[in-house]
Structure 1
Amino acid sequence: MSDSVLLPGGRFTFTGAGREFVAPGPRFTARVAYAAAHVVADPTAENGPGAPAELDWSATLAFRHHLWSHGFGVAEAMDTAQRGMGLDYQTTRELIRRSAAEARAVGGRIVAGVATDQLPDGPVHLDDVRKAYAEQLDHVQAAGARPVLMCSRQLAATAQGPDDYLSVYDELLRQADAPVVLHWLGAMFDPALTGYWGSSDPAAATETVLELIAAHADRIDGIKVSLLDADFEVALRRRLPAGVRLYTGDDFNYPSLIQGDTSATSPGADYSDALLGVFAAIAPVAAAALRALDQGDLDGYHRLFAPTVPLARHIFGTPTYYYKTGIVFLAWLAGHQEHFTMVGGLHSGRSPRHLIELFRLADAAGLLPDAGLAAHRARAWLTTVGVPQ
């Protein structure tokens, strides 16, 4: 009974089916894959809504080493790390500095978010957006990480049309020391980004994005797209200039997008690389799947990824921007941190019913290798939400 919990519908037993994925394996090579990492709050600090973030630095950095050990690059200070939902910029800057130093120490890949979140929310002067972006770009480059030019809430609130986006990004790209990653985050992840790139029509926004990329292809490593629309992503990547990657941010359709279409007649590689929040949650299984892809074992690739998809779709279900709560809950159940609290009080972002289904799906996907630990923590948590054990 030590590996089971009592739920309203009966008893559930954790299987510990993920034991085979615990040990890191060789780095996969067929695709470039970054996992967007969460932050671990200091459970003894304030960390309530509106309070400056206080992190458990040891646990936060240890999780990045976990990702590197499985062959992933780390996407630092992205929305998964609660940018705009609890993580203030002062803490963000320190997070990037520390993570980049750890990456250098172990030879790990790292990209880091460049945004404008040192500005107040709402419309500002366009020059203030330029200056805020430039300041953060300098900070990320000085830390030694590849910049990801994140979508800006302030730019979305200020820009009068596509030309304002092109003007701001044109200037920013000219300041970059090396190729950067662009970022297109849909409104399901952040409603404040509605109409980004100057239009609420994805087709019109696409033309603006492609105009920008064509003008600066030598300064752009790739673009991360998180619109949860697989057909749209495929159409966009087929129009990218040679050498510019499409990093999928589609946490619903990643297996097919990463595999790609090997029968396609379009020039270049017709597949997506990855920069995904879900990869931090499913890192051991995802790494095994990507190594299977390296070996041409598509049956193994899909067999490994298949049970992770229902979990991912649950974690990123509506309202999608609360997916961070599920990511942290899973990290706690899997033993990557000692508590289930979050900066900004965001551990209250999902209901008990949602989190109960999450641990069922995580166990089925082989992501809870220590069944006893997962059951112990689930029982303790269930008691606090009114399900006696």
Structure 2
Amino acid sequence: MSGGRVSAQDTASPGDEGPAAQPPLPRVLLAAAHVVADPFRTVGDPDAPAAVDWDATLAFRRHLWALGLGVADAMDTAQRGMGLDWAAARELVRRSAAEAKAVGGHIACGVGTDQLAAPARTLSEVVTAYEEQLAVVEDCGAQPVLMASRALAALAAGPDDYAEVYGEMLRQCSGPVVLHWLGPMFDPALTGYWGSTELDAATEAFLAVIAAHPGKVDGVKVSLLDAHREIALRRRLPDGVRCYTGDDLHYPELIDGDDQGFSHALLGAFDPLAPAAAEALRLLGAGDRKGFRALLDSTVELSRHLFRAPTRHYKTGVVLLAWLAGHQSHFTMVGGLHSARSLPHLARAYQLADGLGLFPDPGLARSRMASLLSLHGVNQ
């Protein structure tokens, strides 16, 4: 790293096979990874079955492991509920978990209820859907991340219903899991999660679930984009329960922490920012806190741009940057979501990423961006 840029030696190539031999990172750092569509089979209908390019998808996960990061798979960055159906998500979990085992990579996978074809009528139906997905993840040897459920949000009458469903799931989990609180800016269908639109009341319900099941929660992944609220929640977690920041706008200060603690990370932003994030954490591990903050702070403008409202479409910029960086051969997404952002938005993402030195081959990135602009009638 030099001058706030990631150098070539900081960037793993797409062909790297596993975690590099590096000192342990001082935080648990998970990059929520995107999926690569199969451009010869994918269609624009978001209700059609997802078509995934498995070779390119798994190669990108090897890239993340080679940098020394962990992978959070089958999460919202992988377009769960936005193009990736349960059949494809299940296959993704199985393939990624096997790949993680082969290369010694850390992997956690999302457990949800998105296989329900119709709105759930009872809490038991929600539990059954969770159980099916939990079995897949645990059987593969991945760490489960209990994702927020649209079905539960639509059905629950209040905090007691959340306590019932999560209590049943935590009793069944064979090991500690991560609980994921995804805010409505990422998915409007999750408005009022934990039984209230008042975040103070929702926080109390959330903490009550954790307290009622000691030893069953490894950590909480908080995606509310509110740093002050995350810090307040972090300070109230029981001993041994980690906070994994999901705040793609304020992650440097949250990971850095204060004299009362810090957050680990499970971030979609660390998909495109993986080389910079890994290098920043190594600086922190070496005691260079100033260098850590300088490098990670330099990435915030790009992350905030990618996660600009409507926040749920941040995946489009993530996939664009993966294409420009040479991790895939095309700019196509399952569900046709490569069209979800404007051309000026994508052009600015390219400029910011190039300024950070995130592209292993800047000439390739420049050529590919020029071809995208030309396709839309922009002549340079």
Which TM-score applies when normalising by structure 2?
0.95
CA contact (8 A) 1:121 1:153 kept: no
Paired with 2:6 and 2:152, the residues of 1 have a C-alpha distance of: 46
Confirm whether residue 354 of structure 1 aligns to residue 345 of structure 2.
yes
Q: 2:271 is paired with a residue of what secondary structure?
A: helix
Match of 2:262 among 264, 271, 285: 271
CA contact (8 A) 1:28 1:290 kept: no
Counterpart code for 2:185? M
Out of 369-378 and 161-170, give the one that drifted further. 369-378
Confirm whether residue 29 of structure 1 aligns to residue 25 of structure 2.
yes
Deviation string for 1:268-322 (max 9, x for gaps)? Answer: xx10001000111111111000000101101110121122100000000000000
Match of 2:79 among 55, 78, 82: 82
2:224 paired residue number: 227
Task: Report which structure shows greater RCO (CA 8 Å, sep ≥6).
Answer: 1
2:16 paired residue number: none
1:365 paired residue number: 356
Q: 1:217 is paired with a residue of what secondary structure?
A: coil
Equivalent residues in 2 for 1:188-337, closer than 5 Å = 188-261=185-258, 263-264=259-260, 270-337=261-328
Deviation string for 1:118-165 (max 9, x for gaps)? Answer: 013545322110100011111110111010000000000000000000
CA contact (8 A) 1:362 1:368 kept: yes
Out of 369-378 and 72-81, give the one that drifted further. 369-378
Confirm whether residue 376 of structure 1 aligns to residue 372 of structure 2.
no
Give 1:48 deviation, angstroms: 2.0
2:36 paired residue number: 40
Paired with 1:317 and 1:104, the residues of 2 have a C-alpha distance of: 35
1:343 paired residue number: 334
Q: 1:46 is paired with a residue of what secondary structure?
A: coil
Deviation string for 1:346-367 (max 9, x for gaps)? Answer: 0001000100100011011221
Paired with 1:209 and 1:181, the residues of 2 have a C-alpha distance of: 13
Paired with 2:121 and 2:70, the residues of 1 have a C-alpha distance of: 34
Counterpart code for 2:110? G
CA contact (8 A) 1:18 1:365 kept: no
CA contact (8 A) 2:6 2:275 kept: no
> Structure 1's 81 and 27: CA in aligned 2 closer, same or farther, altered over 3 A?
farther
CA contact (8 A) 2:120 2:126 kept: no
Give 1:20 deviation, angstroms: 4.1
Q: Which runs of 5+ in 2 are unaligned?
A: 13-19
Paired with 1:290 and 1:178, the residues of 2 have a C-alpha distance of: 27
> Structure 1's 27 and 312: CA in aligned 2 closer, same or farther, altered over 3 A?
farther
Deviation string for 1:41-99 (max 9, x for gaps)? Answer: 00101332221011110000000000001111110100000000000000110100000
Out of 298-307 and 226-235, give the one that drifted further. 298-307
Counterpart code for 2:60? F
Q: 1:346 is paired with a residue of what secondary structure?
A: helix
Which TM-score applies when normalising by structure 1?
0.92
Paired with 1:20 and 1:307, the residues of 2 have a C-alpha distance of: 19
> Structure 1's 17 and 300: CA in aligned 2 closer, same or farther, altered over 3 A?
closer
Match of 2:99 among 99, 102, 109: 102
Counterpart code for 1:22? T
Counterpart code for 1:63? F
Counterpart code for 2:109? A
Identity of aligned residues (%): 61
Deviation string for 1:247-272 (max 9, x for gaps)? Answer: 000000001000100x33xxxxx100
1:146 paired residue number: 143
Paired with 2:103 and 2:6, the residues of 1 have a C-alpha distance of: 29
Q: 1:311 is paired with a residue of what secondary structure?
A: helix
Counterpart code for 1:26? Q
Q: Which runs of 5+ in 1 are unaligned?
A: 1-15, 265-269
Give the number of aligned pairs. Answer: 368
Counterpart code for 2:8? R
CA contact (8 A) 1:189 1:320 kept: yes
CA contact (8 A) 1:133 1:172 kept: yes
